[in-house]
Structure 1
Amino acid sequence: MTRSHVSCPMVITTANLWQKAKVYIQEMTQSKEVVYLSFDDSIEEKRYTDESELNCWHYDHVFGRSVKGVNFLTALVEVAGMGLPCAVEFVKKDVWVADPKTGKTKRKSRTTKNEMFRKMLRECHGKFRFDYVLGDSWYSSIENMICAKKELGVDFVLALKSNRKVSLSLGGKEKKEYISIETLQPGQQTVEVWFEELDFPLLLTKQVFKNENGTVGELYLACSDLNLSYDQITTIYKKRWGVEEYHKSIKSNTGFGKSLTKTIKTQTNHYVLSIVAYIKLEWLKQRTKKNHFAMKTQIYLAAQQAACAELNKLSTPRVA
């Protein structure tokens, strides 16, 4: 076959992901249940895959160092314990820039993850209803808050870094009296605060918890819904854990990182299709009442039994 007759593989985009999730999500969000939309990014390490604008070096806060792999941002809609990815964007470092400190060139993305956040948020808002937007401190920029509350009219609960500065009253804001939120000790209560760049107040809460290693951690949350209590805000933010479970499942159960392809097009196809497989698993979870890992084990054992049965057939001597 000549080169001109070789067809290029179909490009599977995030639009294909929405087409697969659309029916399920529209059914979910038509209920009277509270609908949460969580955003988070993750890195799938691919140290042995050739470097490209898709598979390149990203700083991983989990390890505290840069790792080589694919970085992707997902919007996950959750209703009544069921979570489905409705949008995904891949971070592509498609330009080279000079590092001002070392003078060496390095890859950089034309589009920031916060710009991706707002793009995905607007797209989701045009497709289905959701009540709260959730995200960690990486996505708590003023631009994101304005986009959610002022532009789209949707409330949010976002984590904050401890160095953020606020005013404790509108009068203090007008006088430019700001303090660091880490100086506040609200206990298990909410405090109304004002950010310099926002023309609407937020509720601030602070959680203190123990980590698995015995250290004490603090979590500051900013909420745009002024009618919520401390317990309600912290309970809503816990829903964001669903996106962490999603990351774990696509990496463990749908083979997200096991693509052996070489081009950006085919690699992206594999990643999106593995997320589509997650949608199927999540829907089956509701029907079977089994988690993703249990279903994977069940399918694996059934495949092994079928293989053993076929091997026994081949090993049985034929009767003359």
Structure 2
Amino acid sequence: MTGAPSTPGVADALTQLLGPRVPLRVTAYDGSDAGPREAAVTLEVRSPDALRRALTAPGELGLARAYVAGDLEIHGDLYAALALRDQISGLALRPAAWATLVRMAGGAAALRRVPEPPPEESRVHGRRHSRARDAAAISHHYDVSGEFYRLLLGPSMTYSCAVWRDASVGLEAAQEAKYELISRKLGLRPGMRLLDVGCGWGGMVIHAARHHGVRALGVTLSREQADLARRRVADAGLSDLVEIRLSDYRDVHDAPFDAISSIGMFEHVGTAHLGEYVGRMHRLLLPSGRLLNHGISRPAGQKGIGRRGFIQRYVFPDGELQEIGRVISAVQHSGLEVRHVE
């Protein structure tokens, strides 16, 4: 005589929901374990709160909250885990699967007791890309200890891609090569005035002053960045050539400048303010001046960063990626001439 079949656990329910096309092993707080043991990625469901968060904020946001709060953990190959994102994002819960997960989360009453979002979640308010909201969004991401960013970025404290001659040169040399490439494109010479918009921890203004003799102004909305950048400028002996200012680029009025660099700040401007941004850059430049605008772009037709996704809520609040054609059109419409794109 055989016993009654065991009740499926949380892990079983989740693997059935995901289906065989998602090579993922799942372990759960109720002791259940399902999915291929050779999977490169294991999802550990540590608490019923993980289910509650996922059910009440379906899609990426609920999973992000559960992960940040520690209700979910990912083990194994991180790159393989990231590759699963596109496969999981298209899943839709059928009524039966929804009912099963609600029951496992503690029933409908439990869904009314969902924990608050983790304190790390961004809570910016006001009109999108207003000065006050932009300052809050920048503070969320950048007003973190300089020691944290030094661990992440290395001594150069440069938060954008580098230029590698080959793999042997090392990160610091590759970042210096990037700054030098920008300097050459801007045609920097001794005595010129350079404005660096979104100057970060001062890497570009320090390089330009030290190697090209320019007088540089760096502006940032991050108090932590401004404080550390000023110390780095002083340590480099360049205080007579470089000023670091806690300021919105829209509040820079001491034009004209011979050159403007904007390196990795463009993602914070916003589509609705694209024309205002490039128009402001044009007005700050001398008639013969040059602007170098460096930003992350997206292919035409690809959706932007979702407002309910992990990136928006936990990494770059209000960040927006632009399509290159739109950027070129906006730049030329402002009266500037696009001379080079890469």
TM-score by length of 2: 0.24
Larger Rg: 2
| Greater RCO (CA < 8 Å, at least 6 residues apart) | 1
TM-score by length of 1: 0.25
